Structure formats: structure tokens, C-alpha cells
């Protein structure tokens, strides 16, 4: 997103095709397909956000910092995040690709203003669709140490 902001505010072009994220970043050999800049930007943003979200979830949402080691929980958290990001990337590609049945219409999302930027809306839709899955998987798998600790403590409290 920072690249898009720099491009839109008149600074020199950093990467060709990165102004709206729709330019090809890398062509996949032997196929007519390629990885677009919005795929790269989405993955970089995901990796940074995943690290911060893990730490915030660990401390405040699930309170697991007292029950399990950091690396023991981060592996599953990253795995869940990558699975959700993979689903999200397929959805993002389908929303941005002009031949997709669920493509965001280009006559409405023409990148003329912030509210009409196709990539922003595609990212927002991607997040809304993958957030519940990611949260539930993290709650019941990644941060299970909190639940198992609470379940083990529950019989003692009853007695």
C-alpha cells in the first residue's frame, strides 16, 4: 500500500506496473499466468501483520503467554494465517481478474478515487471473508494451551 501511495503522490516510479498493483511482477514459466504486484504487496503486508497480530492475540485476546512458549504457538498461528492468506489470494485474484465471474466491475472501480480503487475493495472483501476462518482456527488450534490449562484447572475449582 505504501508503494501505491508513493506512486499516486507524484514521486518517481519505483517499479513498473506497481501504481495500481496490477502490473506483472513475475511471469510463471511455461504458463500464460503471472504473479502481480498486488500479490507481492498482499504477502508482505500479511507477514508483517501476522507477526503483530500474533503478539497481540497472545497477550490480550487469548492470554496464552503464561501457558505456552512463543515459538510453539507462532508456528501454528503462521500456518493458519498462511492457509487463510492462500484462500484470500485466490479470492483477491478472482476479484481483480477481468475474466473472473466474481470480478469487481471496472466501470465502477476505475481507480479514479480512493473509494473507487479496485484493489482496496478486493483486499477488504478478502479480509472480511478470511477473518472468521482464521480466528476460529487460531482459537481452537493455535491457542489450545489456554483452553487445556483452563479445563485442567476447572475440576480443582469445583471441589
20: Cβ contacts below 8 Å, ≥ 6 apart: 4, 111, 117, 118, 119
The partner residues of 24 in beta bridges, in order of sequence, read 36
Taking a C-beta distance cutoff of 8 angstroms, is the pair 142, 77 a contact? yes
pLDDT in tens, 2-57: 555 555 555 544 555 545 556 778 888 888 788 888 888 889 999 999 999 888 88
User: What pTM value is reported for the model?
Assistant: 0.71
pLDDT in tens, 62-119: 666 666 788 888 888 899 999 999 999 999 999 998 889 999 998 999 888 888 988 8
Residue 55 falls within a domain, yes or no? yes
Residue 70: which of 83, 84, 57, 85 has the closest Cα?
A: 57
Residue 18 falls within a domain, yes or no? no
Domain count, the chain: 1
Residue-number span of the structural domain to which 123 is assigned: 35-146
Residue 72 falls within a domain, yes or no? yes
Amino acid at each position: 500500500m505504501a508503494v501505491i501511495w508513493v506512486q499516486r503522490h507524484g514521486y518517481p516510479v519505483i517499479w513498473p506496473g506497481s501504481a495500481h498493483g496490477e502490473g506483472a511482477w513475475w511471469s510463471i514459466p511455461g504458463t500464460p499466468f503471472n504473479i502481480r504486484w498486488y500479490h507481492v504487496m498482499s504477502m508482505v503486508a500479511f507477514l508483517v501483520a501476522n507477526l503483530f497480530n500474533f503478539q497481540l492475540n497472545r497477550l490480550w485476546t487469548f492470554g496464552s503467554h503464561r501457558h505456552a512458549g512463543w515459538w510453539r504457538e507462532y508456528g501454528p498461528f503462521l500456518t493458519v494465517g498462511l492457509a487463510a492468506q492462500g484462500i484470500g489470494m485466490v479470492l483477491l485474484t478472482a476479484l481483480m481478474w477481468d475474466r473472473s465471474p466474481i470480478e469487481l466491475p471496472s466501470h465502477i472501480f476505475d481507480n479514479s478515487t480512493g473509494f473507487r480503487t479496485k484493489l482496496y475493495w478486493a483486499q477488504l472483501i478478502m479480509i472480511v471473508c478470511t477473518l472468521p476462518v482464521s480466528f476460529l482456527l487460531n482459537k481452537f488450534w493455535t491457542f489450545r494451551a489456554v483452553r487445556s490449562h483452563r479445563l485442567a484447572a476447572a475440576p480443582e475449582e469445583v471441589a
